[in-house]
Structure 1
Amino acid sequence: MITRRTPQLINVRILLSDPITVIVRILGRKDIGSMESEIVATTEPQHSPDLRPAGIRRRTVLLSLVSLAAGIGVTRWIDQVRYERFQGFLQARYRNVVSVRDAEVVEILVSPGEIVTAGQPIVRLKDSEFQRQLEAKRHEIESLELQLAQCQAKLEVELDVRRQQILDRIFDARLKAAQASRNPPASSPAVAAKSRTNYSQTSQSVTQRKPKPYPTIDRSVANRTGSKISPASAQPPAQLPQSEFDLCTRHIEDLERMNRELPEKISRMMGVDLAQAHLDHARAELATLESQERQLTLTAETSGLVGVLRKNVGDHVTPYESIVQLLDEEQPYLGMQIPSSRIADFPPGTLVSLVFPGKIAGKGRVVEVPPQTSAIADVGASGSETRIGVHIEPVGTLWPNLPFGSVVEVRRQR
C-alpha cells in the first residue's frame, strides 16, 4: 500500500536524491494527481536500488576532474617558478645584393621566397652615362682600326718602292764587282784612289738619294748574274789589286743590311707602330669597360632564400645600396630582447630551452651579446629600463623549418 506524504517532504527528498529522474518523469505526466503518485512511488526504497551507486559515480567523476585541474595548475605553477620566459624571433643571416655604381633597376629576376644558387642572375641595372662611354669607345676603336689599315697600305707601297731601289743598287754593285775582277791590275795608286772615290760617291747616293721610281728589272737576270759574281765565288787573280773589288763587296753587304732593316724603318716612318699602340690601348680600355658592364647584372654570391626586395623596377640606386636580401637557411638563429639589467644572466654559452610554434621543443645557446648596441626602450618598464639584443644559435637537434620572423618562446632555468 502506497502512503501519501506531504509535497514539501517529497520534494526535499527527491531533490536531494535524484533530481534528474524526477524532472524527467514529471515532464512525462499530464495531471497533478498522477504526478504526485509517481513522486511517491519513486521515493520508495524498494523501487530505487541504484540511487546510491549513481551518486557515488557522480562524486567520483567530480573529484577526478577537480584533481586533474589541480594537478595541471600545480604543474603550471611549478613550471612558472622554475623557468623564466622571453620572446625570441627566428631570423637568418643574410647578404645584401648591392650595386657598385649609380644605376637604375630595369629588371628583377627573382621573387620573395625563391631559392637561388650561387652565380644566378638576380637584378639587371642600367647606367645611361656608362652606356654612352662604352659606345664612344667602340666607335673610337673602329676609327683606329681604319687608320691602322691605311698606314699599313701606305707601308706596303713605300716598302716595295724602297726595296726595288736597293735591289737595283745591289745589282749595279755586283756588275761593278764583276768588271773589277776582269780588268787588268791598276798601274798607279791613282786608280785605287779613284776607285775609293767612286765607292764613296756611290754609297752617299744610296743613303741620301730620295726614292724615285725605277724601271722594272728582270730579277732572274739579276739573280743569275749575282750567282756568277758573288763575293764568295768571284775571286780576282792573285796578281790583281784588291781595292776596287773589296769596295764593291763591302758595298753589296751594306745594301743587303739596309734591305733587311728597311721594313722596320719604313714602319716607324709611316707611323704604323704608333697607330698600333693607340689601337692596343683603346682595346684595353674597352675590355675594362666591358668588365664593368658585367657588373650591371647582379648575381648571387652564395645559395640562399630571397628575402625582402628593397627596390622595385625603375628605382634609382646609389653605390652599395641594398637592393635584395638573400637569407641563409642553413644558419638560422634567434634574436631575443632582454632587459639591460639582466645582461649578466645571459653570458655567451648560456643554454636555453625553446618552444617553437606547434609546441615543438628545441635547444639553443647564447653566442653573441653585442658589446655596443642601440638600446631599445622598454615601453612596459618604468624609469629608464632598456632592452638589449641577444643572439641564440641551434644546439642539438635541428630546429623546425618555420618562416623567418616566427615568435619562439625562450626559457631560462632559474
Structure 2
Amino acid sequence: MQPKESSAWKSIRNIFDQIHLYAGLISGLVVVAVCFSGTIYVYNTEIREMMDSELYFVEETGERMSADELKSSLEKSSGSNVVGLMWNEESDRSVQFTLKKEGEEGRGSTFYVNPYSAEILGNSSDKTSTAEFMGYMFSLHRWLLLDRIETPILESMGNRDLGRFINGVATLLFLLGLITGIVIWVPNKVKNWKQGLKIKWLGNWKRVNHDLHNSLAFYALIFLFIMSATGPFWSYGWYREGWQKTWDTYQEPSPKVENAGNPKSEPVTEMIEAVESSHAVLSLEDIFAKTNAELPYAGNIRVSLPSKASDPVSVSKYRTGFFARAGSDQLKLSSVDLSVTEANLFSDLPFRQQVGRSVKSLHVGDIFGQFSKFLWFVACLIATSLPITGTLIWWNKRKKKPSKKKPKQTRVAQMA
C-alpha cells in the first residue's frame, strides 16, 4: 500500500503536474524534431566517414610522405600557400591541408589529401549527398529548417534568428519538464523505487507507455539535463554570457582601437607591415616533434601557420581513443626556434573553466569519446520519445469518463 498524501502536497503536486503537462504539450513537436535530428547528429563524423569513405580512408601503398613533402607538392601544384593542416597518424587515413592564395580573403580551402601520393581526394566544402543530408539535420536541430526559407517570416528578425529563438524556448520548456517530472516522481516512487524503475511489459499498452515515459526518463535524466541545459547556449546571447560568467570563461569584448587623427602612428604601422609581410618558413616535421615532446600522448595535431614571420605557430592536439577526453591542449611556438611561448593545457584549467569550455562537447556527447557518444545517442532516442509517450498519457487520461456511482440501497429496500 502506498502512503496517503497530505492535502498540502496534493496541491503542490497538482501545480507541478500542470506545469509538467503544459511544458511538454507546448514544446512537444519542436522537441521531437530537435531531439530526432540530434540523435542522428551525435554520429555526424562517423556517418560522413562511412558514406564518403573515399575522402577519409586511403590504401596503404609504400611509405607515407612527410608533412613537409606534402606541403611542398601541394603548394607547387596549386599555386597556393599552406596555412594550416590536420595531421592524422593512422596509416589508412587521409590528412587535411588548408590552402590559401596570396591576397585571398577568408580562411582558405581545406582539402583531403592522400599522404602516400599527395593526391587531392576532395574539398571539405564539396556538397556530397551525405554532406547535404547532414546539413539538413544540423539545420533542423539548430534552426528548425527555417534558415532554408528565403522569404522572411517576420519583419523583426531573420528566419535563422526566429528558428534559434523557438528552439531555445522549446529547450527551456523541456528542461522545466525534466525538473518538474523528477519532483513529481520522487515522492511517489522513493519508497517503492524498484517498482518505479521497471517497465511492466505484460501490462496493456497504456501501462507500458506510462512506464516507458517515467522509467526511461529517469534512467536518462542526467544526460537529458546536460543536453537541455547547454542547448540554449546557441540560442540566446544572455544565456551564453551567463554560462560563461558562471563557469569563469567570460571575456570582455576587446575595444576597437582607432588611429584616425594620429598621423604619427601611420608610418610605424606601414613599416611593421612591410617587415612582417613575408610568410614564415617552418618545418612541419619539427613542429610535430616539438608538439609530441611537450604533449606525449596519442592524438591528432592541428597546425595553423602564421602569415607573418614574427607571429607564433598555433598548435592544438586532440586525444584519440574510445575513452578520449574532450578538450584540446594548445601551444604557441616561436617561429624562430619553436620554443614554447604559451601553453594552454586543458588539464591545468580549474574545474569550472574545464566545464565552461566543454559546452559543445557536453551538448553533443563527445566529452569522453565514443563511450559518452553512445550514452548521448541512447539519451537522445529517449528524449525523442518522451513528448510522444507523454502526450499519449495525457490523451488517455483525457478520454476517461467519470464513473457513475450507483446509490447504495438500504437492506430494507433490497428485501422489498
TM-score (norm 2): 0.20
- Answer with 1 or 2: which has the greater Rg: 1
Q: Which is bigger in relative contact order (C-alpha 8 A, separation at least 6)? A: 1
